[in-house]
Chains A and B, each alone.
Chain A
Amino acid sequence: MAYSDKVVDHFTNPRNMGSFKKDEEGVGTGMVGAPECGDVMKLQIKVQNDTIVDAKFKTFGCGSAIASSSLATEWLKGKTVEEAQKIKNTDIVQELNLPPVKIHCSVLAEDAIKAALADYQKKVDGALTDAK
């Protein structure tokens, strides 16, 4: 099955590939995997004043998984934490025109976003508890 132009674009020219230091302030890390296909995805956000100022990813997997996470980091930048929660896998499917067999790649990206946000929240909560 042929990939859509947008998938090919993200795959051959991935945005925001790389990583932040996990313990850096304001960084949330999401690490998820799909046992079905063996894909592994790491997605990180850097938050300042409740806004995601930067996002990075590393993905080991197929073109659609790479494109989904690449697109996710693009979308995350500039969003508030609350807005980021609203990103759905169906949005990714639509934007990248993913075929049904590749929908799980977008689910993986959504899970990675959720995990990164949860990790960030945990850090914030932890810092608050420490301060008390």
Chain B
Amino acid sequence: MDHNTHSTAGPRELQMARSMCWHCQSEVAGEYFCDRCVKVQPVSKELDYFTCLGFPRRLTIDQHQLEAKFYELSRAFHPDFYQNKSAAEQTISLGNSAMLNTAYRTLRDPIERAEYLLDLEAGSVKEIRNSPPADLFEEILELQDTLNEYRATGRVSETESPLRAKLRSERNTLEQRQRDMEATLQQLFVQWDKLQDRGEATDQARAERDRILKQMREHLSNRTYVKNIVSDLASTIG
């Protein structure tokens, strides 16, 4: 898919799956509403969330701009404003609102946004990996043993303190690691955006693209593993 075309498109231009108005059959020129009969147009489920909200496929997004766009479209599509309209328009309003909400929720969070982009660009990041980070996994499983030990001793036991201290320091280390991973991800996001902005179609650019996506995938999933054990630690030792 050519994802460079979006960058030149204005924020209001939206590529509808149907180029013809469902109501008056006149050509729809890439708006959420038909120019001629002013009927609301269904946002296709095939559209990616970036396009749906009129943003280019970038990982750095201005939160205020995103929010403003979301509110603008929420008002435009809200089912309350379609109560006196035809059944067809009510259905479109519902569908568009649902799509809009999901799109906004996904793009609002930088990590979810990146996971979604990866999903679009390189297949699902959520696939089970075949070459997992064995060292990290060993560490997590070992830590889980210590956690179980701690849970078994209970809070009154005398062995609690050293174990608790150990877990606390593990937690600090892992939290730092999570922050480091997020910083690396942030750098990758910037690299991705720059590459997109250049819009080159050379072999070198393609190799760079694959490298960024691969590293992003790796850091995103490792971050999930670390985040999980951190939250388990936090809920156990408080």
Contact = CB atoms under 8 A, between A and B. Distances in A.
Interface of A: 31-40, 42, 58, 60, 104, 107-108, 111, 115
B227 A35 contact: no
10 nearest A-B pairs in the assembled complex, by CB-CB distance:
A35-B221, A38-B228, A36-B126, A38-B224, A33-B132, A58-B141, A60-B144, A40-B137, A38-B225, A31-B137
Contact of A60 (B126, B129, B227, B228): B228
8 contacts: A31-B134, A32-B130, A36-B224, A39-B228, A58-B145, A60-B228, A60-B229, A111-B130
B128 A31 contact: no
B212 interface: no
A36 B138 CA distance: 19
B99 interface: no
Interface in B107-134: 125-130, 132-134
Given A58-B141, A60-B141, A32 B132 contact: yes
Contact of B137 (A37, A42, A108): A42
Contact of B141 (A34, A40, A108): A40
Secondary structure dominating the interface of B: helix
Given A36-B126, A38-B224, A40-B141, 12 more contacts: A32-B130, A32-B132, A33-B132, A33-B225, A35-B127, A35-B129, A35-B220, A35-B224, A35-B225, A38-B229, A104-B128, A115-B130
Q: In the complex, which range does the number of interface residues on chain B fall in?
A: 20 to 34
Question: Which one of B129, B130, B137 has the greatest number of beta carbons of chain A within 10 Å?
Answer: B137
A106 to B, nearest CB: 11
Contacts of B145: 58
A104 B140 CA distance: 20
B141 A42 contact: yes
A36 B225 CA distance: 9
Contact of A33 (B129, B144, B220): B129
B225 to A, nearest CB: 5
A60 B141 CA distance: 6
B109 to A, nearest CB: 16
Given A35-B224, A40-B140, A107 B229 contact: no
A34 B128 contact: yes
Contacts of B224: 35-38
Given A31-B137, A60-B141, A107 B225 contact: no
A114 B140 CA distance: 21
A111 B129 CA distance: 9
